[in-house]
Structure 1
Amino acid sequence: MDLRLVPAAVAVWAVAAWAVGAGPGAVLVVAVVSVVVGGAAAGRFRALALVAVVVAAVAASTAWRLGDVQATPVAELAASRERVTVQAQVVRDGRVFESVGSQGTVVGLLVLRVEDRHGRVHGVRDPVTAFLRDAHEDLVVGRRLVLQGRLGPPGDHRDTATLQVTRRSAVQGAAWWWSASERVRAGVRSSVDHAPPAPSALVPALVVGDDAALPDRVEEEFRRTGLTHLLAVSGTNLTIVLAMVLAVARAGRAPPRLLLVIGLLGVVGFVLLARPEPSVLRAAGMGVVGLAALGLGSRGGIRALCVAVVALLFCDPWLSRAVGFVLSVCATAGILLLAPPFVRALERWLPRWAAIAVAVPLAAQAACTPVIAAISAEVSIVAVVANVLAAPVVAPATVLGLLAGLVDLVSPAVASVLGTGAAACAGWIVLVAHHAASLPGASLVWSRPWWSLLVLVPVALWWGWRAAPHPVLVVGLCLGLVVAMVRPPSPGWPPPGWVMVACDVGQGDATVIRSGDDEAVVVDVGMEPADVDRCLRGLGVRRVPALVLTHGDADHVGGRSGVAAGRYVGVVLVGRPGVAVDGVPTRTLARGDRFAVGDVTADVLWPQAAPAGSARVRGDLDRNGASLVLRVRVQGVVLMLTGDVGEAEQDRLARSGADLRADVLKVAHHGSADTSARFTQAVGASVATISVGADNDYGHPTPAALRMLRDVGTQAHRTDEEGDVAVIVRDGRLSVVARGSGQRSR
């Protein structure tokens, strides 16, 4: 196995990761020192010289890019937030995003000409990310237009600035190659538009990485089951496309040199179709590695992987910090290094095709597990099984979808037939993801340091490799995994008699109220889908008859797709229109309304149905003041859930004459200082829960809020210190059990 290039690739990666956050001067010094070291070592220490040379090349490339970004007139104008008029070309397709009650579009631009407010014109070639109000579906790669707006500091090191657009012109035509690629992309979409929504949205994602139409629920199910890599362009996509192109060329008896030309044209066409974004360039590199491995074996594959890492980081050093790049390299390395020994071990009792089908996803998932745990604090149990079940139809779906897009240029009717086949394959993948994600043990929370998996994963792989030649042991391990997925061990949780849980979702709110054996009412969902999904899985909640979203702030509604992932959601209840869940009916509540679900009965105390005249709740200026406030009764326990209402609204509730008495208070706004002592006293709860992120930047919960609770004899429990906090009833007495803190710091 040729590992001689591994030190060079690792050194380049480390230097690039450091350099993109440093100044160009310091990076240039590293480049010069590396050249000197390389020259000194060239005679006797060739391995060291090689490392020094590639480090010098990447450091010099990074220093040049950093200096170029800082020296441009656009950067100076962005620093002073100037209003400008720019002529630009679209380099990243516009993506429509949902805000509360409105839409917006984000698009990547290459600014070619900028005019400031004094009429000075500068010719540049600077990358800028622009934000526009409303949906703009005509902003596709290659098209040019004129925009007016205000420049601001960049949100990404790759960019020179951001642009908040106020006006824009109509788009002008793009170069023929971009127009052709967009026509094929449109053909892929139109060929499957007659299929069900999820499969028809998945086919463009498989073929060209276009996942814009994919429902949030499906994305979350793919995340839980380790199938997310199918939603983005990867080396697998390119390998499938090249395999199809080269197979056709070989069938036509193309000579070897022509095969090389055809392969290169296939790579270029793939990049045009999928767009030359960092992830696509990464996929092109990893796809070439896959082909090299097919021809040269794992020895040549490792060498090709190292060359690809160095080349990609030279072209785009910011990839060194990109999660997708890390996962691609880990997965490719895992397949090259780990899959062959597992295939040989499994071949003793399995056909080769079956051994490969098991070994490849197992190797990729094992190599990526520490990275995934570091990102999401979860370890997927069902990922290997889901990938094995989905793998047979990935290539047919990709090939049929691409052919449909090409054939649509001449015969939409024939393309629709091909699209039907692609959608059928995609439908199987969606079905696998849905059922796998619904398993309680689809993924497990990893509360220990992620780096501990660097030791545990190799140990587990070694034992697995030793067991692989023995079918009895393999079958036993598989049965054990099935049991863990269907009925995962969770000692002591959920605690018997629980009625309410304040979920540890970081700096956000998510409250679960038990309404039946496997169902609950969920009030707010935190920022990230994975956090609330983890909490609900731990509680065994499979049905959510009512999802209450108190108001539209992201830390209360951002994770709503995590509730819908693999669960039934009956209705979404909101205080103000604007927030929804795909495929679920929405109902607006106001003061005086009541709803009942199973063991849960809730009275709405706020907001008023007609808040006109109150400056604090007018429009979108103060969503907190318009939060739903609920007084909930469940199994004899009264809960006061307050959203993020501030002191003014709490005082109005205290003066309203409504019955505010409760056993448990969900403290408003994470324990901010905007809290009413009069309201806190009127509630008179014996227990309070505060949903708050560890080490948050807001100083929540504030000493003032904690003091108010102590003054009225309320015992406060915080998610940042205790993790998930459960309120339970045992023998008619109220008590609290905590699961342990995840120490999130959002």
Structure 2
Amino acid sequence: MNHDARMAPGAVLAWALAAWLVTTGSPAAVAVAVAAVVLAAAVWRRRWARPVLLAAVCVAAVAASCAWRLATVEQSPLVDLARDGRLAMLEVTVSGDARVFRLRGQDSTIVQVVVRRVVVDGSELRLRSRATAFLDGRADDLVVGRRVTLQGRLGPSHDTDRSAVIDVVRRSASSGAAWWWEASERVRAGVRRSVERLSDEPRALVPALVDGDDSRISDEVEEDFRRSGLTHLMAVSGSNLTIVLAVTMALGRAAGLRRLWIVGLLSIVAFVLLARPEPSVVRAAAMGAVGVAALGFGARGGLRALCWAVVALLFLDPWLARSPGFILSVSATAGILLLAPMLVRRLQTWLPHWCAVAVAVPLAAQLVCTPAIAALSGEVSLVAVVANLLAAPAVAPATIAGLVGGLLAVVWPPAGQLCGVVAGASARWILAVGHTAADLDSASLEWNAPWQLLVLIVPAVTWAAIRLASRPVLFTGLALGVLIGMWRPPETGWPPPGWVMVACDVGQGDASVLPVGPGEAVVVDTGEHDAPVDRCLDSLGIHTVRLLVLTHAHADHVDGWRGALDGRRVDQVLVGTSGGPSVRGVPQHEARAGESFALGDTAADVLWAPAAAGEAGDPNAASVVLLATVRGVRILLTGDIGAQAQQRLLRTGADVSADVLKVPHHGSADQDPGFIGQVRAAIATISVGADNDYGHPTASLLALLRRERARTWRTDTGGDIAVVLVDGRLRVVTRD
């Protein structure tokens, strides 16, 4: 198929120029663009120069927009006030819904605003400048279009599209926005009400699918969707608009309306109002319109529409040039327009057309997006095509049912909740696909090589995929091989490079290993039996235990001590006040709170080792609690302390914040939410035996970890758990 690519050079050059200009923040380069236009005009009479002129006009238009926008930001009176750190009263209009984040254990809010009026030292300024405001606590009433008066201290902005940041001291109540914004907010609230009786994850995902409200999405879901290649479902994308357009235009056709383009236009306007005119939504509207153009005019017209959409969007908002969402959205759309038709033609020689399309579309999008994904995340997803193929049938029902539920909830809540049940059922399927795909050991591969290398590799893989698509035996065999490799990948070596902690699978017990140096480690607890901890240490290549810590005298923590000694040298034993086994020939020391030690890569502080008789009478409460630091990663090892001991530990004033939490007492229900909240761990490991009689880990504990947005791994389902530090980022690798 011949594609109309005349606009492609201009779109690519305009994109590159915009990315450079918004990064440097310099508007002076507009002169270069003007010179390009003059040069192109000079050769206009030559036939071959017309594409050059078109590209030059695109570049000049985007460059002029960048220059104007950057100059507007730089010349704003807010810039000088922010540079001096002035305290001001500001009348603002909210331009983006408020978002809540956690800061030092407290809720805080960030909101994008347009400043209309500033009063400083009795002087009044009227202006129109964009700024970012930070507030203490929640501010759920700050939604797009509403007006509010702020008093706060101005500071310089590090973003080239913002004139200042505002540290808000106090604010007024928000006042009403225009009727169209209030109407869209009522529908958004209706969507939330329609799913309020669902469980946590579907209740959070449906609004994200319908209108881009991802405020309730947990870190666990976000990480699993990232690993499985479903991240685009958590934000408004062109596919959302395409679904809405398809349904509304189908209804219009069924109703006998002749001017369907009016229905489409109204649908796009309503969609933007509902999902907010943020850059991602404007991008989605443009990409959805490109999809409609492709349906109406074929891939040739679709490619031309895509290039015009890129130039138009960059003209309206040059900062999109460096937006990950924009990069991925354009890449995916280009892949669907250019590659999907070729794949469909070859696949449908042996597959039904609908099946060929279902396979070709996610495959084409993933191939083109792979270099960008590797550059942005350092990973290449292997399961994304399969995950998107499985999740796709549920996306449209969830989106449409959620939207209809939101509309009905405004006038008749019971009907809205009925639609919410349908949307929730579809969302559960999407979540099941995301979690299952992310749990595969080879769901994604780390990409440590330069991402530019993929620009050479991906075309070769694409060529091979197109050639094999018409050969059912080879294509199916390769697909099955990839699936088997993801489900049961070949052994890649153990321990993984960069490990900072391993939670050994010792059944219903605890055993953790911290690296000291080659072949040397600190071992914290040993489990109940000798063989499991011996196997774990052998697999890690540990021949010297520099320190053996026995947190408390319960069998599931200390009775496997002989396995830790088997064929290894142990330099010292550290026990809590409840005691522990005596190891002949090895010096033993009783831990005291406030002590610390440093051995090679590992340093640790003893936070809790109570000597009082009350705690000593309860070995769990008397567990030694260590805060270890391994190559900058903070790891909290908590033994079996329960809620009361956790509260008492907090009252000592100890800093328990950590990157990794070894969950206390195998995930029992005896936990203090305040303690888990203070730890704020990104990763939580649970040492627990399969099918144990205690019901560990409990549902309440798992729910608590989800609320605190800690990603959780369990030895009963994952085996040995290694926490790995790679390029400053924490990852988890498991080994059955």
Same fold per TM (> 0.5)?
yes
CA distance in 1, matches of 2:572, 2:13: 56
Selected match of 1:237 from 240, 252, 265: 240
Q: CA deviation at 1:145?
A: 0.7
The match for 1:511 is 501
Q: Is the 8 A contact 2:552 2:558 kept in 1?
A: no
The match for 1:220 is 223
Selected match of 1:666 from 602, 605, 610: 602
Selected match of 2:116 from 112, 115, 121: 112
1:410-429 alpha-carbon deviations (Å, 9 max, x no partner): 21111111111011101100
Q: Is the 8 A contact 2:504 2:513 kept in 1?
A: no
Quote the RMSD (CA, aligned, Å).
Answer: 3.3
Q: CA deviation at 1:329?
A: 0.6
Which amino acid is the alignment partner of residue 47 of structure 1? P
Q: CA deviation at 1:592?
A: 11
Which amino acid is the alignment partner of residue 666 of structure 1? T
Q: Secondary structure at the match of 1:127?
A: strand
Any stretches of 5+ residues in structure 1 without a counterpart? 496-500, 504-509, 525-544, 546-590, 603-632, 642-652, 670-687, 694-737
The match for 2:478 is 477
- Tell me if 1:690 matches 2:680: no
CA distance in 2, matches of 1:358, 1:480: 16
Change (3 A) 1:371 1:668: farther
1:363-385 alpha-carbon deviations (Å, 9 max, x no partner): 11111111111111111111111
Q: Is the 8 A contact 2:349 2:470 kept in 1?
A: yes
CA distance in 2, matches of 1:327, 1:518: 45
Q: CA deviation at 1:200?
A: 1.3
- Tell me if 1:194 matches 2:197: yes
CA distance in 1, matches of 2:240, 2:173: 34
Matches for 1:127-166 after TM superposition, within 5 Å: 127-166=130-169
Change (3 A) 1:140 1:519: farther
Change (3 A) 1:169 1:689: closer
Q: Secondary structure at the match of 1:137?
A: coil
- Tell me if 1:409 matches 2:410: yes
Instruction: Provide the aligned length of Structure 1 versus Structure 2.
Output: 566
Matches for 1:361-440 after TM superposition, within 5 Å: 361-440=362-441
CA distance in 2, matches of 1:241, 1:67: 38
Q: Secondary structure at the match of 2:411?
A: coil
CA distance in 2, matches of 1:358, 1:364: 11
Selected match of 1:42 from 19, 44, 47: 44
Q: Secondary structure at the match of 1:92?
A: coil
1:582-637 alpha-carbon deviations (Å, 9 max, x no partner): xxxxxxxxx997597966899xxxxxxxxxxxxxxxxxxxxxxxxxxxxxx89876
Q: CA deviation at 1:407?
A: 1.4
1:56-84 alpha-carbon deviations (Å, 9 max, x no partner): 11111110111111111111111111111
Any stretches of 5+ residues in structure 2 without a counterpart? 515-526, 528-548, 575-588, 606-628, 635-721, 731-736
Q: Is the 8 A contact 2:238 2:284 kept in 1?
A: yes
Matches for 1:289-304 after TM superposition, within 5 Å: 289-304=290-305
1:479-523 alpha-carbon deviations (Å, 9 max, x no partner): 21122112223433337xxxxx853xxxxxx53343438998789
CA distance in 1, matches of 2:193, 2:477: 47
Q: Secondary structure at the match of 1:17?
A: helix
CA distance in 1, matches of 2:361, 2:558: 48
- Tell me if 1:53 matches 2:67: no
Q: CA deviation at 1:690?
A: 3.1
CA distance in 2, matches of 1:378, 1:227: 14
Which amino acid is the alignment partner of residue 232 of structure 1? A
CA distance in 2, matches of 1:596, 1:312: 64
Change (3 A) 1:337 1:518: farther
CA distance in 1, matches of 2:592, 2:452: 54
Change (3 A) 1:484 1:691: farther
Change (3 A) 1:292 1:594: farther
The match for 2:442 is 441
CA distance in 2, matches of 1:404, 1:72: 44
CA distance in 1, matches of 2:10, 2:573: 60
Q: Secondary structure at the match of 1:254?
A: coil
Selected match of 1:15 from 14, 17, 25: 17
The match for 2:106 is 102
Change (3 A) 1:237 1:655: closer
- Tell me if 1:121 matches 2:124: yes
CA distance in 1, matches of 2:194, 2:592: 59
Q: Is the 8 A contact 2:5 2:304 kept in 1?
A: yes
The match for 1:175 is 178
The match for 1:185 is 188
Q: Is the 8 A contact 1:339 1:360 kept in 2?
A: yes
Which amino acid is the alignment partner of residue 281 of structure 1? V
- Identical pairs, percent: 51
Which amino acid is the alignment partner of residue 276 of structure 1? P
Selected match of 2:96 from 92, 96, 101: 92
CA distance in 2, matches of 1:146, 1:267: 32
The match for 1:33 is 35
